[in-house]
Structure 1
Amino acid sequence: MARGFEIVSKYAGQGLHIPYRTTKKAAGYDFEAATDFTLPSIWKLNFVKILWQLKHGETSSAADLDAAAKVLKPFLVPTGIKAFMNDDEYLMLANRSSNPLKRNLILPNGIGIIDADYYNNDNNEGEIFLQLINMGIRDVHIKKGERIGQGIFTPYLTATDEAAIETTRNGGFGSSGK
């Protein structure tokens, strides 16, 4: 069985750290930011105005809804890391417990799933990004090397009567679905 982490080629020689566990009984491997990154507060991105417009029916055009979606979209914080694992495993990305409490940062989908075929597929080296939203009133400045999330390797089961799947991944972030 093989699983682990590598640094993606564009970050080679830039002093990144492979994800690590901080205690011997920790399940999660801490991921660090690959670069300095600023997460703007959603409150500075017209969030309140858009919510008010939605509540009062003033946002109905496609352009208004596109603007709302852009404001509420998470930011992708680069880690410079890719993960390899067995075919029947995935890497679950989760928030650090201190992020919401100390920094008002959340993962909008609760967790992220990195499939085994995300690693080194034909059109993507497999760099892992953490989706984050800053719910605080001030921008959050993340410095290169700060811990921003954690990953846990997990096995999974498939249905016994599942038809054979022949489709292979052909792309990067978000490429397994339509």
Structure 2
Amino acid sequence: MYHNQNKKEVGFMHQRGFEIVTKDQNAQLALPQRQTAHAAGYDFEAAEDFLLPSIWKLDFVRIFHLLRKEQTLTDEDYMAATKTLKPLLVPTGIKAYMPDNEFLMLANRSSNPLKKGLVLPNGVGIVDADYYNNPANEGEIFFQLVNMGVRDVTIKKGERIGQGIFMPYLTVDDETTVTTERTGGFGSSGR
């Protein structure tokens, strides 16, 4: 069974692909595409202009200063630094459908760290098949990014920010049947 029961074309069930989320239907967004014949990844673009501030802001640098002087840090110091280092979710306006035994792996563009100082703090993102059309955000895909550069970076609408690669996965022989259904959006399957 596929999560996108509406994807039919002359009796053929589409297995995987991309759609624009409802809220962005009139935003003139491009669906992800591969850029070369042998590319594994589908390039995602930003759905809107988005500012990614540099992590090298005062509260973050202040922590290093206090640590170097071996001063005791307060909970407020830690909270301020954590707020500065928090990754931001760059919206794509795109959702993906796929068979139940696949996932979409989100990866950074190879040029992002080198040219812009942008990194995915979790290394890769995983979009599960049941994320599609979830009730919290319709399955919109976001790229979690941190700007490690010294200057703020503005990503322009339509600028490529990352790539997605469809992948199959395997389960163990003696797995207990999982009956939990996804009820939320981004990060909702964790504790």
Q: Same fold (TM over 0.5)?
A: yes
Task: Give the TM-score range, shorter chain.
Answer: over 0.9
Query: Whole-Å Cα distance in 2 between the matches of residues 35 and 57 of structure 1?
Result: 42
TM-score normalised by the chain length of structure 2: 0.88
TM-score normalised by the chain length of structure 1: 0.95
Count of residue correspondences:
177
* Secondary structure of 1:42's aligned partner: coil
Residue of structure 1 in register with 2:152 after alignment: 139
* Secondary structure of 2:56's aligned partner: helix
Residue of structure 1 in register with 2:23 after alignment: 10
Query: Whole-Å Cα distance in 2 between the matches of residues 155 and 51 of structure 1?
Result: 43
Deviation, 1:35, is 0.2
Residue of structure 2 in register with 1:40 after alignment: 53
What letter is aligned with 1:157? L
CA contact (8 A) 1:94 1:111 kept: yes
CA contact (8 A) 2:135 2:184 kept: yes
Query: Quick check: 145-154 or 40-49, which moved more?
Result: 40-49
Larger radius of gyration: 2
What letter is aligned with 1:58? T
Give 5+ residue unaligned stretches, structure 2.
Answer: 1-13
Residue of structure 1 in register with 2:3 after alignment: none
- Runs (4+) of structure 1 moved beyond 4 Å? none
CA RMSD of aligned residues (A): 1.3
- Of 72, 77, 85, which aligns to 1:58? 72
What letter is aligned with 1:59? L
Query: Quick check: 120-129 or 4-13, which moved more?
Result: 120-129
Residue of structure 1 in register with 2:122 after alignment: 109
What letter is aligned with 1:87? D
- Of 24, 36, 40, which aligns to 1:27? 40
Deviation, 1:158, is 0.5
CA contact (8 A) 1:118 1:124 kept: no
